[in-house]
Amino acid sequence: MSLTNPDLKSKFVDYLNEILSAENAAVERLQTRIQETPIQDAKQRFQQHLQETRGQQGRLEKLITDYDGSPTKSKADLPMLKPPATSMMKDTLKNTVKSVTKGAENPTTEEMEIRNIKEDAIIENAEIIAYKMCSQLAGKMNAQDAISVFQQNTEEEVSMFNWIMTNTPSMLNQLWPKIESSITTSSKQ
C-alpha cells in the first residue's frame, strides 16, 4: 500500500466499495440463478462462480480495510434488459385483457431463461470493465498491491463470461424445443 494522500486514499476506497456493491448484488443474483435455471451445466457453473464471487468480495473487503475504509454491505443495481416503456405498456395492457379472458400469454420458464442468460453476459461484461478500470486507477494512484487483486478478479469474470458465450448455443438448443412447442400450441388455440 503506497497511497499516502488521505483524499486519494478515500477516493480509492469509494471506487473499491462501488465494485464491492456490485459483487454483493452478484452474490444474490447467482443464488437466484442457481435456484431458477433449468440447465444443469449452468447451475453447476453458477455454483462455481458464486464461490469465486465470494472470494472477490473477500479480497475487496481486505483492500478496503487496508486502505482504512469500511467495506459496504450495499448492493448495486445490476444491468438488466428492459423493453421500451411504450412496448411494456402495450404488452401490459394486452396481457391484462388476455388474463381477464383467460388467454394470457406469459413468458415461459425457457423464455425467461434466455433473457436471464443475456443479462448474465451483460453483468459479467460490466464487471470485467469495472475491474479493468479499477486496475488502471490503481496504477495511476500507485496502489500496486490492488492491481493483482483486480487482475485475479478480472480473470474470474472473463472465465465466466467466456463460459456463457461458449455454452450459449448448447443452452439455446436445450431451451428452444419447449419455446417452439409453446408457440405452436398457443397458435393452435
CA dihedral sign, ordered 162, 168, 174, 178: positive
Helix, coil or strand: residue 73: coil
Where the chain has pLDDT below 50, the residues are 100-102, 104
Quickly list DSSP for 7-42: HHHHHHHHHHHHHHHHHHHHHHHHHHHHHH---HHH
Q: pLDDT, tens digit, for every residue of 97-143?
A: 555 444 546 788 999 999 999 999 999 999 999 999 999 999 998 89
How high is the pLDDT of residue 102? Answer: 47
Q: Which bin fits 34, alpha (ψ -120 to 50), beta or left (φ > 0)?
A: alpha
Q: What is the pLDDT of residue 169?
A: 96
Contacts of residue 124, Cβ cutoff 8 Å, sequence gap at least 6: 157, 160, 161, 164
Question: What type of residue is 184?
Answer: T
- Reported pTM: 0.85
Q: Answer for the pair 157, 145: CB distance below 8 angstroms, yes or no.
A: no
Instruction: Return the residue matching grid coordinates 437466484.
Output: 32
pLDDT at 179: 87
**Cα–Cα distance list, 99 to 23, 25, 47, 91, 138 (Å):** 38, 33, 36, 12, 54
